[in-house]
Structure 1
Amino acid sequence: MKVVTGPGEYVRKTNVLKEIGLYVKEYGQTVLVIGGQTALSVAEPKIMKSLEKNQLPLLGSIPFSGECSWREINRLIEIVQEIKPDVLIGVGGGKVLDTVKAVAFAAKLPLIAVPTIAATCAAATPISILYDDEGIFIEISRKSKAPNVVLVDMEIIQSAPYRFLVAGIGDTLAKWFESRASVQKVQPNARNQSAVRLAHGIYQLLLEQGEAAINASKQGIVTSALEDVVDSIILVSGSVSGYGGDDCRTAAAHAIYSGLTIFPEVHHTYHGEIVAYGILAQLSLEDKPKEEITNLISFYQKVELPYLLEQLGIKTLSPAQWKQLGEVSVTIEDMANMPFEVTPSMVINAIQHVEEIGKLVNIQ
């Protein structure tokens, strides 16, 4: 049995990046930073100052192209092989970090992850979600490295647009609904049952503190609610996957997310926002009571998560597009984690059912 539970070390506090040099020293002397342009603009000054203070050479700062694709991963691998740093630092959101995790895996280098938004658990997982160059999902790659260290600077997190935190809540909610479904296919054991209980605990915390965390983010202040929600999104959520392994994987919510990415209209929407919509469709697939769906929509309204296709940018779908959505969604490997076989027509019916419920909620 082999279990990769997450990062070797997780540190969350205000201005922790002023200490990043101390963490780098544990793994090497020379550094290469890879990050999104916006992320670098807010985090790099702190990183540079700490590296200089600790006399650690920065060999370069490479901007991320914007898509976690094999083309981008291979481009960065070539740069790393040429520059030969001792340590990689990844700075940014989920796609950046997933890319750098894949690069670190290929290059066999230590990795320090610096999430600048709390939108996914990418910083704390050993997998990478890959897309083609146009942003359409293609695979979940295990050729990825769990970071040695994750540094969460709350000054940066709280100053990011609050919509990122909203998306993180959506993505993290899925841990409970998807692990509850996928674990039904396997023999219960200590790991997967602990993972499911952990997922349910995160779900309850988000229901209780999610709105307060969003309000703190809007006000630009750090509160205990915001800290708890950030830890849940980045660290604890990733631990569910770590302990549960293949028994507690993503399921229909993420499969439907991936199916929806075939439509360019959703590409302005964040991962967790689309996943949140996928949760509703999964509940419909599972034939859960309407009350469970409407209760979740009520929470979505409080934290500004989407519950209608039009909120994702999709105004209408032609019969051919509905068919394509159903067919693509069932081919995604996540869908195989459902405890029953799912057909394209079931996906279509589930989404249309959610649309009916969501529109009724809007009227009331």
Structure 2
Amino acid sequence: MTALTFGSPGRYIQGDGVVGDIGQYIRACSPRALILCDSFVREQFGSRIVASCAAHDVTAHWLEFSGELTQRKVAELAQAAQSFDFGVVVAIGGGKTLDAGKALVDAAGCALITVPTIASNDSPTSKNYVLYDDDHQLAAVKHLPRSAAYVVVDTALIAQAPTHFLLAGIGDAISKYFEAEQCLQSGGKNMFAARPSFSAYVLARECFSIIRSDAAPVLDDLKLGRTHPAFDRLIEAVILMSGLGFESGGLSIAHSMTRGLSRLAGAAHAPHGLQVAYALLVQLHLEHRAPDFMRDMIRLYERLGLPTRLSDLGASGATREHYETVARLTLEAPYAGNFEHSLSIADIVSAMEKVERAAA
């Protein structure tokens, strides 16, 4: 039997105000750090980071990043970083900034620390990063040799972000249980090209359980400017449980469909997590889930504000030809084969039509 692989960051730290302790984590990796972020992050949190670095005798160089991460942008960042002497990259911001930090680490071969300022996805814990082409289409998924040495999640920063970021993170995380289950049952491979870990499957399952119980009240309170007692647990589920669940448990149709949805006019501009949430409904129909189960999922989606039809992603008026394009690109994704039986374009089109009818 093929050996299983379970991967994770070196250490995960979550709490209110932990970004103020960043200096000690940087120092554990190197006394010389390259800090990558956008101008807003530096303006808002830079003084706290500088003070913490000074307290731990860390020399920090700052490099600004914003926009799309293309191969050209990676080359520009690597060129700019050459003038600095650093042993660790500290990437602070949203998913694209964290991916930019991973790309720099891939080129430099040094340590990585990720500091998410929003919970829109689970990339902080993952070794993967995504490159786009000049037309803003997904070009490649790259892999670091290892995940971040430290993941530092300051829940005070996450709570300040607009709630639509967390909703996207919930959409990204809600599929991981079902995708890991398909990967495990089908004998598929996880993101390490190895046998999926049952421990990762359990984490993904519990991630879904927490979303079901805690996501709605947390979102309700955040919209009122309050933090629900379950907020900390939900953030751990969306970032840590989801991240470990997908990377060591594996992906399936829901994430494969983002390859197709990102080429569909309107839907292409929807957040990744909302694309995944819609695609999960398609996967569940492909699994022939019972009508009562599907109705329960739709109620959960409607309670949270997740998309239940293509028009919710901005893709109004999609035709069968559009469905077929999405299906073809879905089946070209590397983890589309992690499913309990082989699928055709017609199968996926039929499932998409069922999703649209159920939401009508």
TM-score normalised by structure 1 residue count = 0.90
Determine the structure 1 residue equivalent to 2:334. 333
In the TM superposition, residue 231 of structure 1 has moved relative to its aligned partner by 0.5
Are the counterparts in 1 of residues 90 and 112 from structure 2 also a CA contact under 8 Å? yes
The answer as to whether partners of 1:43 and 1:91 remain within 8 angstroms in 2 is no
Helix, strand or coil: the match of 2:257? Answer: helix
Q: CA deviation at 1:15?
A: 1.3
Corresponding residue number in structure 2 for 1:324: 325
Q: Is the 8 A contact 2:262 2:269 kept in 1?
A: no
- Which secondary structure state, in structure 2, belongs to the residue aligned with residue 337 of structure 1? coil
Q: CA deviation at 1:5?
A: 2.0
Preserved CA contact (<8 Å) 2:188 2:338: no
Shift of 1:145: 4.0
- How many equivalent residue pairs? 354
Hey, what's the Cα distance between the residues in 2 that align with 1:103 and 1:235?
23
Moved more, 54-63 or 231-240: 54-63
SS in 1 for 2:175: helix
Deviation at 1:276, TM superposition (A): 0.3
Partner Cα separation in structure 1 for residue 263 and residue 38 of structure 2: 24
The question of whether the paired residues in 2 share the 8 Å contact of 1:128 and 1:144 is answered with: no
Q: Do 1:135 and 1:261's aligned partners in 2 also have CA atoms closer than 8 Å?
A: no
Q: Do the aligned partners of 1:4 and 1:126 also contact (CA within 8 Å) in 2? A: no
Distance 1:256 1:241, change over 3 A: closer
Query: Does 1:172 find its partner at 2:173?
Result: yes
- Give the TM-score, by structure 2 length: 0.91
Q: What fraction of aligned residue pairs are identical, expressed as a percent?
A: 26
User: Does the aligned pair in 2 maintain the 1:135–1:267 contact within 8 Å?
Assistant: no
Q: Which amino acid aligns with 2:295?
A: T
Which among 17, 24, 27 is matched to residue 25 of structure 1?
27
| Correspondence 1:294 to 2:268 | no
The CA distance in 1 between the partners of 2:48 and 2:93, in whole Å, is 14
Q: 3-state SS of the aligned residue for 1:82? A: coil
CA shift, 1:215, in A, is: 2.0
Residues 117 and 157 in structure 2, CA contact (< 8 A), matched pair in contact too: yes
Cα deviation, residue 9, structure 1: 1.1
My pick for the range that moved more, 81-90 or 203-212, is 81-90
Per-residue CA distance 1:69-90 (angstroms, 9 max, x = gap): 3332232222223323222110
Q: Which residue of 2 aligns with 1:362?
A: none
* 2:53 counterpart residue number: 51
**CA separation in 1, counterparts of 2:256 and 2:196?**
24
1:220 aligns with 2:221: no
SS class of match (1:335): coil
Deviation string 1:125-145 (CA, Å, 9 cap, x unpaired) is 122233323332233322364
| Aligned partner letter, 1:174 | S
Q: Distance in 1 between matches of 2:152 and 2:319?
A: 45
State the shift of 1:37 in Å: 4.3
| Secondary structure of the corresponding residue to residue 226 of structure 2 | coil
- 2:161 aligned residue: 160
State how far apart, in whole Å, the 1-side matches of 2:325 and 2:246 are: 29
| Stretch of structure 1 that moved more, 259-268 or 120-129 | 259-268
Q: Partner of 2:82: helix, strand, or coil?
A: helix
Seen in structure 2, the aligned counterparts of structure 1 residues 2 and 342 have a Cα distance that, compared at 3 Å, is closer
Of 128-137 and 322-331, the range deviating more from structure 2: 128-137
Partner of 1:8: 10
Relative to total residues, which structure has the larger helix share, 1 or 2? Answer: 1
Q: Find the counterpart in structure 2 of residue 134 from structure 1.
A: 135
Query: CA offsets per residue over residues 101-156 of structure 1, 9 Å max, x none?
Result: 23213211111110001111100112223332333223332236411111111111
**Amino acid in the other structure paired with 2:100:** T
**Which stretch has the larger CA shift, 200-209 or 217-226?**
217-226
Task: Give the equivalent residue in structure 2 for 1:80.
Answer: 81
Matches within 5 A, 1:297-312: 297-312=298-313
Secondary structure of the structure 2 residue equivalent to 1:295:
helix
Letter in 1 for 2:205: H
The residue that corresponds to 1:200 in the other structure is: 205
Q: Hey, what's the Cα distance between the residues in 1 that align with 2:38 and 2:269?
A: 16
Contact kept in structure 1, 2:267 and 2:310, CA below 8 Å: no
Q: Secondary structure at the match of 1:113?
A: strand
Q: Matched residue of 2:49: which SS?
A: helix
Match of 1:70 in 2: 71
Output one character per residue of 1:166-200: Cα deviation in whole Å (capped at 9) or x when no partner. Answer: 11111111111101111112299996223222221
C-alpha spacing 1:230/1:100, structure 2 compared with 1 (3 Å): same
How much has 1:239 moved relative to structure 2? 1.9
SS of alignment partner, residue 61 of structure 1:
strand
Amino acid at match of 1:283: L
- The worse-fitting range, judged by mean Cα deviation, of 191-200 and 273-282 is 191-200
Decide whether aligned partners of structure 1 residues 39 and 145 sit closer, same or farther in structure 2, where only a CA change above 3 A counts.
Answer: farther
Task: Report the Cα offset of residue 349 of structure 1.
Answer: 1.4
SS at match of 2:34: strand
C-alpha offsets along residues 238-260 of structure 1, whole Å, 9 cap, x if unaligned? 22235xx3xx3111001112210
